[in-house]
Amino acid sequence: METETNSLILRKIKYDQCDIGPYKVVIQNNKKNLGNLHPVELDLGPDLSDTDSIEPFEGSSDEYRPDDSFSESINSNNLESEELERTNEVSEDLFIVPESLPDIEKDVHRLDETAEINHQPIPPNIRKKKYFSPKIKTSKKRKRKPEQWVKRKAALSREKGQSYKSYKGEDIAAKSVAMGNLCPDKCRLKCSDKFTIEQRENIMFSFYKLDINGKNALLFNSIRSSSPGRKRKGATNHKTATYQYFLTLEKKQTLVCKRAFISLYQISKKKMKSFKIK
């Protein structure tokens, strides 16, 4: 019973502290909890019933008037904050003028200089290269001398048409000009009658003055292939192409046979097969 009455007192104190204006605070009792209970007699003012409600305060009695001290403190704080805001505001028409004004032209010139400095491109980070002195070889190994190698000497002399020694130890004679017949007497082109001895020497010496790439290019351009004109009946392997051989002499191309071509340039049949188109 005492706990219920204490709760009623606390509820009354709570309503007294609230700033709800000039209204009476009336507490409505719960029928379920307070139906069969008899409260202790306390000086709580008028009796409370189940149909109590909040009504406007009209009388002059201060029995249930809420405490206005809290609302007055809030209003006083608001007034102080408004006064501070007014004091902090500065009029746009008022400004302070110093006794000695600075030189504006100098300041503008300084600003221009700083702007130019800021807009200058930043140079990239240039790394310094390290230079090391060349190492001096102190080893006792022999240096390479390819011009003195036996195989290299043999290859150079073979390109020039000179005599050399093969890797098997055989002595190979130098290239010589063909003096006799270039082809058999049965040849229809009669290649031996077309070239004199001087012309044969010029053809051979000019050919061996070239390097290996120049020689291959000359031979490749001198051989031409064409389809065969006729084929034999009953042959197992037919001829795929016919080849013609030309020699350039005095800016003129002369048709010769295969044997005359080989004897004038002093080359082998194996070399000829590498240039033929199958």
Give per-residue pLDDT as tens, 83-118: 555 555 544 444 444 444 445 555 545 555 554 545
Helix 197-208 to helix 258-265 angle (10° resolution) is 70
Is the model's pLDDT at 230 over the cut of 50?
Answer: yes
Collapsed DSSP state (helix, strand, coil) of residue 229: coil
Using one digit for the tens of pLDDT, what is the confidence trace for 264-277? 999 888 888 887 65
Per-residue pLDDT band at 123 (split at 50, 70, 90): low
Residues 6 or more apart whose Cβ sits within 8 Å of residue 4:
33, 34, 37, 39
Q: Do 164 and 158 touch, CB atoms closer than 8 A?
A: yes
Give CA torsion, residues 176, 180, 186, 190, to 10 deg. Answer: 80
What's the alpha-carbon Rg for the chain, to the nearest Å?
64
Token pair 């007034």 in the structure block, residue:
79
* Residue of higher predicted confidence among 123 and 209: 209
- Dihedral of alpha carbons 110, 111, 117, 120, sign: negative
Token code pair at residue 40: 């202790």
**Are the C-beta atoms of residues 269 and 249 closer than 8 Å to each other?**
no
Where does the chain have alpha helices with state H?
Answer: 2-17, 31-34, 69-88, 104-119, 150-159, 197-208, 212-222, 258-265, 269-273
pTM (predicted TM-score): 0.46
Bridge partners (DSSP) of residue 171 are: 165
Q: Determine what percent of the chain is predicted with pLDDT higher than 70.
A: 53
C-alpha to C-alpha distance for 31 and 173, rounded to whole angstroms:
143
Mean of pLDDT values over 159-178 = 87
